[in-house]
Chain A
C-alpha cells in the first residue's frame, strides 16, 4: 500500500476507487445482485412459464428490472433518485411475483441497495473531516467547558 507513505497511488485500483467515488456504487451493486439472486430462484422452464401466461412473465420481469436499474444506477448516477425509487417499488413487488422475493434474500439486497442509492450524495467531505467539524461546532457552543481533545 504505497498510499500509507504519502505517495500518490497509480494503477487500475486507484482508477476504480475514483470511479467508485463518483457513483452510489454499493447501492447499485446490491440492487443488481438482489435482482440476479431472484432470477436464480426462478429457473422454471420456459414451457411451464408459458402455461401460466402473463402472470408468470411478471415473475421474470420484475427481477430483470431490478438488475437493469442497479446497472443504470452504476452507469448513469445522475438519475439515481428515479432509479432508486423505482427500484425499491419493484423490489417490494417481487415479494408477490417471484418466490417471496427470492426467499427474502433478493428482497433484502434490493431494498438495502435502493436505500443506499437514494441516500447517496456526490462530492461530500470525508467522514473524518465531518466528525472533526461537528466536534468543533460542539466545542464552540460550550466554550466554558475545558476540553482535552478538541482543537486548541
Chain B
C-alpha cells in the first residue's frame, strides 16, 4: 500500500465527498469480516441446495402466474387425474385484461402423482424467455398435487378407468373438488405424449427436478 497516493491523507477531496469535513461523522458501517461470517455458510448452503435440486434429491415448490407461460413435456404419466372448467379472475384493472372483462376461461387439470419426461417451461418476459428444462437425462421429473389452469392443452392422451361428465364437486380420484354444477372428468391413470400446455396459473406441492437447467433464450419451448 506504499504507493497508494490516492489514499494519502493530504488528498481527501479525491476520495468520497460523503464525509462531512468538520465532524469525523461516526456512522454505522458494514464490517466485511463480520458479514463474511454469515455470507460464507449462506453461500455454501445455497450451492448445496442447488446441487441437491439438480440431482433430484430435493423437491421444489412452484407457483407462478400472472403471466401466461408454456409447459411442454415429451411424456406425462400420472396416477389420479381430474379435469374441470373454471373461471380465473385477473386483478382489478389488470393491463392484461383486454376485452375479456378480466376473466379467463380455463380448464383446471389435477394430477395427484405425475412423472414427466423431458420437461420444458418458458415464460415470455417481453423480448426474452426464461427457459427451465429438467428431466432430459435418465432421471425423470416427479410432481405431486400438480394443478394447472390452462387455456390450451394438446397432446395424445390415454386414460385408464375414465369417467366423463361427473359433477365437478363429486370428484373422488384426486383430493381436490371443483365447483358444483360444472362439467368434469376423472381417471385413475393418465398418459399424455407430446404434452403442450398454455397455462394461466399452475401450482405443484412438490416438484423434483433432476438435471435442472435455467437459461434465458430468444425462443420459448417448441
User: A residues bordering B, Cβ < 8 Å?
Assistant: 1, 3-4, 6, 8-9, 21-24, 26-27, 40-45, 47-49, 51-53, 55-56, 58-59, 77, 84-85, 88, 91-92, 95-100, 103-104, 107, 111-112, 114-116, 118-129, 131-132, 135, 138, 147-149, 151
Q: Does B166 contact A (CB under 8 A)?
A: no
A21 touches B24 (CB 8 A): no
B61 touches A97 (CB 8 A): yes
A49 touches B63 (CB 8 A): yes
B127-172 residues with Cβ-Cβ distance < 8 A to A are 130, 145, 147, 149
B7-59 residues with Cβ-Cβ distance < 8 A to A are 7-9, 12, 15-17, 19-22, 24-39, 42-43, 45-46, 49-50, 53, 58-59
Q: Does B192 contact A (CB under 8 A)?
A: no
Give CA–CA (A148, B2) in the complex, Å. 8
A99 touches B24 (CB 8 A): no
In the complex, what residues of A have CB within 8 A of residue B59's CB? 96
Task: Say whether chain A's binding surface is mostly helix, strand, loop, or mixed.
Answer: helix
Contacts beyond the supplied A41-B64, A120-B34: 6 A-B pairs with Cβ under 8 Å: A44-B201, A48-B65, A48-B201, A51-B176, A124-B26, A135-B7
B27 touches A21 (CB 8 A): yes
Contact of B28 among A120, A129, A132 (CB under 8 A): A120
Give CA–CA (A77, B206) in the complex, Å. 36
In the complex, what residues of A have CB within 8 A of residue B3's CB? 149
In the complex, what residues of A have CB within 8 A of residue B30's CB? 24, 26-27, 116, 119-121
In the complex, what residues of B have CB within 8 A of residue A84's CB? 38
In the complex, what residues of B have CB within 8 A of residue A99's CB? 61-64
User: B residues bordering A, Cβ < 8 Å?
Assistant: 1-5, 7-9, 12, 15-17, 19-22, 24-39, 42-43, 45-46, 49-50, 53, 58-66, 86, 88-89, 108, 110, 130, 145, 147, 149, 176, 201-206, 214
A–B pairs, 28, beta carbons within 8 Å = A3-B17, A9-B20, A40-B66, A43-B66, A44-B64, A48-B108, A48-B201, A56-B205, A59-B61, A59-B63, A92-B49, A95-B46, A99-B61, A99-B62, A111-B43, A115-B36, A119-B31, A119-B34, A119-B37, A121-B34, A122-B28, A124-B28, A124-B31, A128-B9, A128-B12, A129-B24, A135-B7, A147-B2
A44 touches B65 (CB 8 A): yes
- State the 5 A-B residue pairs at the shortest beta-carbon distance, nearest first: A119-B35, A21-B27, A43-B66, A119-B34, A124-B29
Distance in Å: Cβ of A62 to nearest Cβ of chain B = 10
A118 touches B34 (CB 8 A): yes
A44 touches B17 (CB 8 A): no
